Structure formats: C-alpha cells, structure tokens
Amino acid sequence: MRTLFGTFISIGLVAASTGLSAEVGGARLKDIAALQGPASMPAVGYGLVVGLNKTGDRKQTIFSAQTLASMLERFGVAVSPNLMKVENIAAVVVTAEIGPYTQNGGRIDVVASSIGDARSLQGGTLLPTPLRGPDGGVMALAQGPLSIGGFGAGGGGNSVAVNHLTVGRVPRGALVQAARPASLAGLETLVLALYEPDFASASRVAAAINMELGADAAHAADAGSVRVQVPAAYKNNLAELVARLEPLSVNVDAAARVVINERTGTVVMGGAVRLTAAAVAHGALSVRIQTQFNVSQPLPYTRGDTTVTPDTNIDVQEGDAKLVRLEPGTTLADVVSALNALGATPRDIIAILQALRAAGALHAEIVVL
C-alpha cells in the first residue's frame, strides 16, 4: 500500500493471511534450493564504448585515449594519445557470469560500467571485449549496443537525467568461448543447498523428496543441505532425476524478518512477524520560528538614523497523539492496520518498529539496508 509520504510494502504470504501458520505454501524445490557442485563463474574484461554524443570520457581520463590509440595502431593508423581530443568514447569494465552448464557458443548477458568520467553511456556500442575468468583465460567475447534503461539531456549548463546513465547492459551480448565441463555422471549422492538455511525447511524438503522417491531416499544433513541417495534406475541419467525433483512443492518455514531501507523510506515485513501485547502512541511536535525585520526610518531632513528591529515569533504545535493497543499474537495484517490508523509515514513506521523491537514486543529480526 502507498502512502502520501513514501512507500510502505507489506508481504502477507498465503498461510500468514489465514493466521494459522507462518509457512509459505507451494514453493517449488527449484526456487528454494540449488544442486551443490558446479557453480557459476564470474568473468571480467576491459573495453571501450564508442558512439556517444559528447558524453564520454574527457581529457583527464588518459587511459581511454591510450586504449583508442592502441586499437587504431593495430589497424595501421598511428596517432599519439596526447594529440587526441575525443568525447564520444568511454572506458568500461565489463562483467558477466557464466553458468555451470553454459556450453561453447552460448550467449550470456554482460554489464558495462564506466571507470572514467563519462557522463552517460546512452546510445553507445561496446567494442569486442574479451572476458577472462579467475585463471586469466579468455572465457567469452562481448560486444553490442548498450541498454541503460534511462535517458539524459541537457544544454546551457542545465541537464536532466532519468535512472543511472553510466552503467549499461548488453542482453545476450557475450559469446562463450571456453565453457567448463560439468557432468553429473557417476554421482551416487546429490546434495541440495538451500538458499535460506533453516532446519525446518531442510526437514520438509527431505520429507517431500521421500514422498516422491520412497522412504529413506533423502535426509537433512544440516540447516543448509539435503542429501539425496540416487536410485538405481537413475544411475546413468541423473538429469532426469533432477528434473523430477525440481517441481516438488515444499512448505518453507518463513523467517520473521523486517527489512528497512531508510534512504528510500521503504519497509517490508514478512508474513511471520508477530507481536506480544503492546501499546503504540504516535504524535507530532513541530516548532516554527519566524523572524521579521522591521525598518524604522527618520523623517525627511532630520538627523535621525535608520534602525532595523527584529521581530521573532515562535509557534509550537503538537499533533493529537493516538494510542493503539496491540493484543498478544498480533499478525502482520493487524500491525499494518494499526500503523495506518495512526497516520504514520514510512519514517514513523521505521521508528515505531525499532522501538517495539527494543521493548521486546516485536518478535522479528530487523534488517537495515
């Protein structure tokens, strides 16, 4: 729900809205856990973006001009970097993530971020840029037009910008050159790693797998992993086994957590948030001080002096405070209704939640971003 002063987001999950449980029903196994083993590999490269409309790196960013001079030299054009004065290029760092099962010839998204003093990458094209893995080997080759998801314009010392203009994305802009071999063949046990480690969730994942494959097929090793014994029928076809397990529905136990972003005034509360008995009062105290200068001038042809007399007015106003009582076991919906009844803004809600946590009435972890 949106208030006049900012954004207040409340997430009441299916089970929480009934007031019976804090579980999230129907989450797919593939959405809450991943197969432990081969992981994605980060790749990074250094390149140039060209075609900018005088919004690129300026003269003080010397490495972009040096890069352009080196590239032109390979094409048989010898130009000294010191003699260059171009504003339509920008030096960027290109990053990507290569999945464990991405094959040679596959395409992945890349992100280009300016490292100079370019004002915008709008309309630019990334020149072919090799992306290297942690071992220094070339993993992919990236190029293509940038999409920055915004725009900027200006003139005469005035400018306007929408969204961030110095970071752009090239969808499917990198061609994988050296994929890592990743095979599941020969494994006798699969390990599923939970994205949010929790003992209750791990136990429910193991129970769901046992219902699908048979008793004792899986067990929770700890809060973050579940071990699955590979049935004899899938010894040579583990991909089919993983495909069979991924759609399984699991009731995940949701953690009681409140996430606060004070910079944007956003509050997100999970469906498992509960309160004990508490009373919340909300009021506003404002002090306004106004100073008005009164000028007194002498009559014409007199020797009097012009004097300035300050006149200060102090106005103190206190809003009507409202007291809302929260009963034991109050649910998320009750909290939202009570805070809105107080007319609280997101900034006020942040202070109220922190005060409830300090008073021991809010049973949830508060995460401040």
Determine the longest span between alpha carbons in the chain, in angstroms: 115
pLDDT of amino acid 278:
73
Half-sphere exposure of 233 (CA within 13 A, CB side): 7
Give the span between the Cα atoms of 42 and 98, in whole angstroms. Answer: 6
CA 270 remoteness from chain centre: 17
- Winning range, highest mean pLDDT, from 135-139, 161-165, 331-335, 357-361: 135-139
Confidence of residue 319 (pLDDT cuts 50, 70, 90): low
341 versus 213: the higher-pLDDT residue is 213
- Is the pLDDT at 153 greater than 70? The verdict is no
One-letter amino acid of 236: N
Give the span between the Cα atoms of 206 and 255, in whole angstroms. Answer: 19
- Winning range, highest mean pLDDT, from 200-214, 291-305, 333-347, 355-369: 200-214
Q: What is the mean pLDDT of the chain?
A: 78
pLDDT of amino acid 86:
83
Listing DSSP states for 321-347 in one string gives PEEEEE-TTB-HHHHHHHHHHTT--HH
Which of 51-65, 184-198, 203-217, 277-291 is predicted least confidently?
277-291
pLDDT of amino acid 114:
93
**Whole-model pTM?**
0.61
Confidence of residue 320 (pLDDT cuts 50, 70, 90): low
**Span 90-148, pLDDT tens digits:** 999 999 999 888 888 899 999 999 998 888 898 899 999 999 998 889 999 999 999 88
Confidence of residue 348 (pLDDT cuts 50, 70, 90): confident
Give the span between the Cα atoms of 316 and 152, in whole angstroms. Answer: 44
Give the span between the Cα atoms of 122 and 146, in whole angstroms. Answer: 7
132 versus 75: the higher-pLDDT residue is 132
Which token pair is 363?
């049973």
pLDDT of amino acid 48:
94
Mean pLDDT, to the nearest integer, of 227-244?
88
